[in-house]
Amino acid sequence: DSFIEHKPVEAVVGSDVILPCVSTFNISLDDHILEWNKDDEEIYTVQDRRGSTQVDDYKDRTSLINGNVSLKVSRVTPSDTGKYRCYLPSIHQEAVIELNVGKSYYFNCHSPSEAVVGSDVILPCVSTPVECVVNDADGVHLYHNEADDPEAQIEDYKGRTALSHNNLFSGDCSLSLRVKTSDAGTYRCSVITEKLPPPSCSLNLIGKNTEDFTVMFLCFFFVIT
């Protein structure tokens, strides 16, 4: 009998998170004391089915999930980052879960209403706080290490895209595109982070005819890093 290993948990500042503690055996808290520790400091204890918070920083922010011994931490802060241990001392069983808490980002997409073939259109992508490493999985435009990367760009877009490098420092990652009819589709602006999946804004270019097409947008995610 043992606890099941879990990959690190990622969370955004201010959100609620579940630290999973799942076993291959049935756990009755009538028979066991349960301890949750963070970095070797006891933060939450359950004895005789009554929970108590041991550290002021976690008061009114910790509780068990009904039906198991996973811990819910509410309104997470950067200081909550660390390794947590779910421990049953009576049987010497434990699980270790890593929590990474990042800043919250929001991508603001304001789309132009329409674009004419042959004109320049701005695909807007503005992040708050400032963080720009522009990447597109399909190679429309890539900017990293403080430079554009034309080698990673699709041939059909070469010479038709541009970023304002000065604006990147203020969080404006918008892309200028010289429009062709074949450009209709979905575009993604992504900030690549070290720990978390790429966030994105998506803009749909919906073709109407050979002369022009309407540009619509959809913002997908809050961005976390």
Q: Region 166-187: what's the mean pLDDT?
A: 76
- Cα separation, 168 vs 158, in Å, equals 20
- Chain center to CA of 157: 28
Q: Region 139-163: what's the mean pLDDT?
A: 82
Residue 130 has pLDDT above 60, yes or no: no
Terminal CA-CA length for the chain:
36
Residue 113 has pLDDT above 50, yes or no: no
Q: Region 114-142: what's the mean pLDDT?
A: 63
Q: Region 24-46: what's the mean pLDDT?
A: 81
**Residue 129: cis peptide before it, omega within 30 degrees of 0:** yes
Residue 73 has pLDDT above 90, yes or no: yes
What is each CA distance from 124 to 13, 45, 168, 174, 218, in whole angstroms?
Answer: 25, 49, 12, 4, 11
47 is written with which tokens? 């004895």
**What are the pLDDT digits (tens) for 137-148?**
457 888 777 788
**What are the pLDDT digits (tens) for 56-67?**
889 889 988 766
- Cα separation, 150 vs 137, in Å, equals 14
- Cα separation, 204 vs 206, in Å, equals 6
Q: Region 14-35: what's the mean pLDDT?
A: 79
Sign of torsion over alpha carbons 69, 75, 76, 77 = negative
For residues 179 and 106, the model is more confident at 179
- Backbone conformation region of residue 76, classed left if phi is above 0, alpha if psi is from -120 to 50, else beta: beta
Highest mean pLDDT among 67-71, 118-122, 214-218: 67-71
Residue 184 has pLDDT above 70, yes or no: yes
Domains annotated for the chain, with CATH where assigned, are: 9-102 (2.60.40.10), 104-224 (2.60.40.10)
Residue 134 has pLDDT above 90, yes or no: no
For residues 94 and 133, the model is more confident at 94
